[in-house]
Every structure is written in structure tokens, then in C-alpha cells.
Chains A and B, each alone.
Chain A
Amino acid sequence: MRFVRSVTTCADLSVHRFHWMTQVQEVPQSGRLSPAMQLRIHELMVKSRAAEERCIQMSKAGDGWFWIGAPGEEALGVPLGLQVKKGEGLDHDFLHLHYRSSPIAIAMGLEPIDIIRQMGAKATDPFSRGRNFVNHYAVRRWNIVPMAPTIETQFSIAVGTGIAQRRHGGTGITIVNGGDGGTHEGDFATCLLWSIRPGQELPILMITANNSFAISTPACTQHGVSIAQRVKGYGIPTLSIDGNDVHQSWKAIAEGMAYVREKRKPFFIEAKVSRLHGHSSSSGANRVNEEDPITRFEQSLIKGDVATRAELDIVWSRYREEMADAYEQVKREPYPDPSDVERYMYAEPKENYYNPKPRNGFAE
């Protein structure tokens, strides 16, 4: 098992080194992952990838309009999702996710067919009833709050669940993730600033998945210092990791979570990850030549005699077939009824808010 403390692609960011050993010594060591856990992680990584690949196919085939997702972030997301204190309410973790979080959600137990449903904008989409882009979840029973493609706003909203959890006590924490481009937004600074108010520190685990690009703009042309260096200016403990490495991710997340749960203070992780299909379908969603974290993990599984190539291939076949079946099923499911358009505007049955008679060609 390797624990590389700093991996960056931009040379000018590589000056950054990390000091978690001195800052968070009280964090318990998580220990080596068991073979069974490694196989479970592998399965979830493949499950997540298979769902994303199916969505990409749908976007190319005209079975959906827009795809954005997480191929390349499985080694970060699955270890995170598996360590979430899952449930509803303040005693459990709140998740403020962004659109590259399918490995997190699938590791938590989300069914990939529901991602396919959202990809197809079907009425059966349980997260948004056909309203939102793919990979924008809202799952009340697991505290996954509604997701939005407004970059980094989740970092401002996370402050609120953090305040509620600080007041509530216990071990539930707020987890918020985003990309490196998102850290340019003021919302990132908001979260840092609000989480360190004296005597009002917030139990928030912040994670930036640094894939080195904001759409097409290379991070190294925009970041004067590393993101973790910025965060350190707020006095928040940071870890920078190679997020393509399952073991490093698991350990960093375990340490970050333990710190936040116990200390009720913020913690920051910057994880270098791959972006295997570009930003989104807007840039073609074709496979690019970056390190594949699943391939890397599989090599370690084979080398460590945890699994054989043939056994791993079975996992791929199983989930690819499952996604093909899911796709066939979702294809037959309906779009939302046009009358659904005003539904859920308010928490209550609508009263006399603006609701003109049908006109101008709109359906009633």
C-alpha cells in the first residue's frame, strides 16, 4: 500500500507538501483495507463507471440531452461514500455534493437505474422528477440535499447544515465536495470563513477533487498557489492526496472524518483525480488519456493476489449487463406529464399564486 502525500500535475503546484501528521495526530489509523473490503470497493467503482458509461452512450444516442459525471473519480468517491454516516437528520452526515459524485452516491447505496432515469429525464427520476441534469440527486433519507449545477454554491449551503449540526452535537458532520474550478467562487471562501468563526467552528469536511481543469481552462494557469495552501491560510488542517489511489483516499477520508466528528471543526482534503471523459457531453465526452483509477486499483488487486483478471472481468460484465437492462427498462418509462410543470413549486398544495388561464399556446 502506498501513501503518496502529494501528487500534482502542474509543476508550479508541486512545491506544496502536507503536514497532517503533525496537525491531526489524534486521528486513529484506519488500518489496511481487508481483501473483502477491497473487492467491495472495486465492485462499487465498476458499478459507478458502468452507470456513467451508459449515460454517456445515452447522450450520444439521443436518449438524453446532456451528460456530466464522474468517470475518473471512483477511487475518491467510493471510499468516501462507504464511510459516510448514512441516514436522515442531524445525527447523520449531510452531503452537499456536486455533479461528479456518482461513486459517492452509489457507494452509499443509490441504485444506478435511478441515475439512468435522471439521464433520460423520465417521470420515474426520483431525484428531480425529470427536472434536472443527470447526477443531480436529492435523497432525504440519506441527507443528500438537492444538488445544483451552480458551481460551488453547495459550499455556502453547507454552512447552514454545519451550524445546525454544531448546535445539535453528536457525531454527524457536514460533507461538501466540489471541483478545483469551483474553488475560484466566493462560496468556497464563504465556507472556509464561516467554519472558523471563533467559538462557532463548524463540523464540515470539505473536499476538492482537483482534476486540473475548469472545463477547458488548465488549473495551473489560474491557481497561483495550491488550493490546500489557500485553505491553510484559514488555519484549517489540510491533506493533499492522490485521489486516484483507493488506499490513500480511504485513509485521508477516515482521518478527516474522525477529526471533524470528534473536534467539531473543519477539515479540508484536496484530491488529485482524473477526468476520463472530459468536462461533459458538451465537449464530446470522449475518453481521454489520463490515468484510470480503476485500472490502477485492479493492478494492485491482481498483484496482491486479492483477485484474478478473470474475476474482475466478471464484475465488469455483470454491471454492464445490468446497465443495459436498466437502459431498456428506462426507455419504456414515460416523461413527466406536462401538467406536472407547476407541481412541487411549494411545500403545500398551491393556492392562488400566479396561475393564469391557459393561453399563448401553453398546455393547461
Chain B
Amino acid sequence: MATMAQAIRMALAYGEQHLGVTDIFGEDVGPPLGGVFTCTQGLRTAWNSPLDERGIVGAALGLALAGQKPVAEIQFSDYIFNAIDLMKLAANSTWSSGGEFTVPLVLMTTVGSGVHGSIYHSHSFDAFATHLPGWKVVIPSNPLDAYGLMIASLKDGNPVMYLEPKCLLRTKGLERIPGEPADERELRDRIDAPLGDRSQWKPRWPALLEYEVPLGKAKLCREGTSATVVSYGRTLPLCVEAADQLAAEGMRFDVLDLRSLMPYDWAAISASIRKTGRVLFVNEDTEVTNFGEHLLRRTIDEFFYELAVRPRLLAGRNVPGIGMAPTLEDASVPQSANILAAMREIAIEPA
């Protein structure tokens, strides 16, 4: 099975072949490296930019305004902050011009913890991303969704922020990507750049097929009535794992993978909350002014009298960064044990 990095690469190749992608660029995005996480290896339109985040986002915006279809990357969301001005402009150019111009671009950036990235390779960006109205925001938790969300993002015609949970980029999926060879060694041989000299190397893309995960549609990963768990990105597989473990104790959870943060699938969240009366939101961004807090607020606004127990948010600690020591990282962002405990607690609390 393809890794998430391979899935993104294949979706971008599909975008080049079928969706008119003109530029895939950013720091180390082009050859020889093809991205520090290999997501852009072998892509025909990939090129290296100066180490200048404002320039990268500005160039993407300009390319989009000129009718091109750019995909830009900020290598780590930890370094995206000096480009916020340009990201706001990408977000508001359609609105502020009264619909005169549109901004069809995709901005990829890696997010989150789990790779011992210390203070500046572990940032989450979901709260900031969803605080820029005008962007659409997606975050996959498995390779197939990574493929389908990228294709949907490329087809959308609006600025789409594509958040890549960096600790999942090398994980393999359970479902095959349409067009992916059955033998994963064959896939590697076809699309992974060789070590050493790559100057003569060219990928042999498999015959990729279109597969879209519509923006704004959550995925129900586990089904149950004990409680609703809503998550995305790195913490999503941990929630699924916890749900499977708690099944042994007789608890059954609805586990929703949000996949899109803007627009987000409020219909799916609402339906599940109505069913269970209990909801736990899980993400790893810092807890103050967290995107999960918005979901909590809306839950209270709309379902206060239907809730069996208080709704909850399990999020990262409100600290300036994630420490290098494993003990500090584990204490900063939700880990399996925290998630399991929170899920058990909300499921068994008397109504």
C-alpha cells in the first residue's frame, strides 16, 4: 500500500496530467530532493524557490490571478507565520473584489507533532488556518483520503490549505488508491527517487484514476452509540485505535474523521451528537482559541438541551512549543493513553 507521501505525490501527478496544474513549488520542492518528505519527487512542474515564505505565497497568489494553477508548499507550518499577510490576501481577494477575481491555488504545509520535531517542527496550524475566512482547509489522516482530498482541492477553484500531518506521511494505508499497483515494491520502483544521483531518473507513474474526497465531507470511521468522537490528522488514528480497544469493554463510538476543517461537515457531527448525546473533540493544537473550541461552542449553541453529559475538548497544552524531550512532547499533545481515558470517561459518565 502507498504511503501518504506517495499518495500526495500521485495526486499531484494526476493534477499535472489531468487538472492543469502548472507549478508545484517551494523550498526543496523540486529536484533533486522533491520535498523534505518526498511528496513532490519526480513531478514535472516541481521547482525550487528561494527560501522566502512571503514570496512563495505571493507567487502562488499571483500565478492564480494570472490564470495558472499553482500548488505551493511551506515546508513546515512552523515557518508559515511571516506569510500570513499574503495568506489573508489569498483568502480575501475574491471577496474584496466582489467576485471579480478568483484564486484557485493549493497551499501545502506540514503540521503537527510525532516526529521529535521540537519547538519549530511540531506546530499545529488548524486554529490559525480556520481563522482565515476565505480559505478552505483540509487535513487527511490516511493515504487514500490524502489522494482524494488533493484532487478535490485542485479542482475546487478556491484557495485551499492542505495540511499534511507530518507523522503520518510515511504511514501506509489500508485501502488502495485507484490506479495504484498491487505490489508496493512496484510502486516504489516506479515513483520513489533513487538514492544518490537522480539527475537521469524519471518516475513511471501508474495509470492513476480520479478519486475525489469532497471538501466538507467527514468520514465515519467507527460506528456506535456510546459517544461521538470528532478528530482529524495525527490524532484520528489514535481515536480509532482507542475505539477498537474500548469495544472490548462494551463501548461503541462514532468516530468521525473531519478531513475538511473549512468547510466542515456539521451535518455529520450534528447527526452523531443527536444519536449519542455525548461528544468529544480531539486535536493536538494548543487548547486556547482552538478550532475544537469553536465546535464546542456550536455544539452548546445548538444541542445544549440534547446533550447527556458535558461536551469535551481534548487538545494540546497551552505552551509555547513542543519540547525536544519525549517526556515533554508526550505531556504537550494528546497521546493514545490520554485519548483512551477521555473516551472512556465520556462514555461511562452518568447522564
Contacts and interface: CB of A to CB of B under 8 A. Distances in A.
A15 B300 CA distance: 67
B265 interface: yes
A164, A186, A359 — most chain B CB neighbours (10 Å): A164
* Listed residue (B66, B94, B156) with the most chain A CB atoms within 10 angstroms of its CB: B66
B78 interface: no
A271 B301 CA distance: 57
Given A193-B50, A351-B216, A161 B65 contact: yes
A164 B68 CA distance: 7
B169 interface: no
Contacts of B104: 347
Contacts of A348: 156-158
Interface string B56-67: 011111111111
A128 B62 contact: no
B96 A161 contact: no
B64 A186 contact: no
B263 A159 contact: no
B39 to A, nearest CB: 21
Interface stretch (B85-93, B113-121, B237-245, B315-323): B85-93
Interface string A268-301: 0000000000000000000000000000000000
Contacts of B63: 160-161, 163-164
A201 to B, nearest CB: 14
Given A163-B62, A164-B68, A347-B157, A139 B100 contact: yes
Contacts of B103: 347
Q: Give the interface SS of chain A, mostly helix, strand, loop or mixed.
A: loop
Given A157-B86, A164-B63, A352 B265 contact: yes
B86 A156 contact: yes
Interface in A147-163: 148, 150, 153, 155-163
B134 interface: yes
B315 to A, nearest CB: 19
Given A89-B67, A153-B85, A161-B66, A194 B52 contact: yes
Interface string A68-86: 0000000000000000000
Interface stretch (A32-40, A53-61, A338-346): A338-346
Interface string A231-273: 0000000000000000000000000000000000000000000
A129 B98 contact: yes
A127 B101 CA distance: 10
Contact of B54 (A96, A156, A167, A351): A156
A307 B63 CA distance: 45
B24 to A, nearest CB: 13
B97 interface: yes
Given A160-B70, A190-B55, A353 B216 contact: yes
A160 B50 contact: no
B54 A164 contact: no
Contacts of A131: 95-96, 98
Interface string B179-203: 0000000000000000000000000
B23 interface: yes
Contacts of A157: 58-59, 61-62, 65, 86, 89
Given A145-B65, A157-B89, A346-B94, A352 B101 contact: no
B51 to A, nearest CB: 10
Interface residues of A, number: 52
Which one of A139, A155, A345 has the greatest number of beta carbons of chain B within 10 Å?
A345
A10 B57 CA distance: 35
B164 to A, nearest CB: 22
Q: Which of B82, B88, B93, B302 gathers the greatest number of chain A CB atoms within 10 Å?
A: B93
**A125, A161, A186, A346: most-surrounded residue (chain B CB, <10 A):** A346
A140 interface: yes
A225 B67 CA distance: 38
A348 B94 CA distance: 10
A160 B89 contact: no
B101 to A, nearest CB: 6
A303 interface: no
Given A190-B52, A193-B52, A353-B263, A160 B60 contact: yes
Interface string A328-364: 0000000000000001111110011110110100000
Contacts of A163: 23, 59, 62-63, 68
A346 B266 CA distance: 19
Contact of A127 (B22, B97, B301): B97
Q: Which of A190, A193, A344, A351 has the most CB of B within 10 A?
A: A344
A240 B290 CA distance: 50
B286 interface: no
B341 interface: no
Contact of A347 (B86, B94, B263, B301): B94
A43 interface: no
Interface in B112-165: 133-134, 136, 156-158
Contacts of B100: 126-127, 138-140, 146
Interface string A155-198: 11111111111010000001000000000001100100110010
B55 A194 contact: yes
A132 interface: yes
Nearest to A94: B66
B64 to A, nearest CB: 7
B62 A351 contact: no
A129 B92 CA distance: 13
Contacts of A190: 50, 52, 54-55, 58
Contacts of A345: 94-95, 133-134
A159 B86 contact: no
Contact of A356 (B68, B102, B267, B301): B301
A311 B78 CA distance: 63
A41 interface: no
B59 A160 contact: yes
Given A160-B70, A161-B66, A353-B262, 5 more contacts: A153-B89, A160-B59, A190-B58, A347-B99, A353-B263
27 contacts: A90-B66, A94-B66, A125-B98, A132-B96, A138-B93, A139-B100, A145-B93, A157-B59, A160-B60, A160-B62, A160-B64, A160-B66, A164-B66, A186-B82, A190-B52, A190-B58, A193-B50, A194-B59, A343-B95, A344-B98, A346-B158, A347-B94, A347-B158, A352-B216, A353-B216, A353-B263, A356-B301
Sorted nearest first, the 4 A-B pairs with minimum C-beta distance are A160-B62, A156-B58, A138-B97, A129-B98
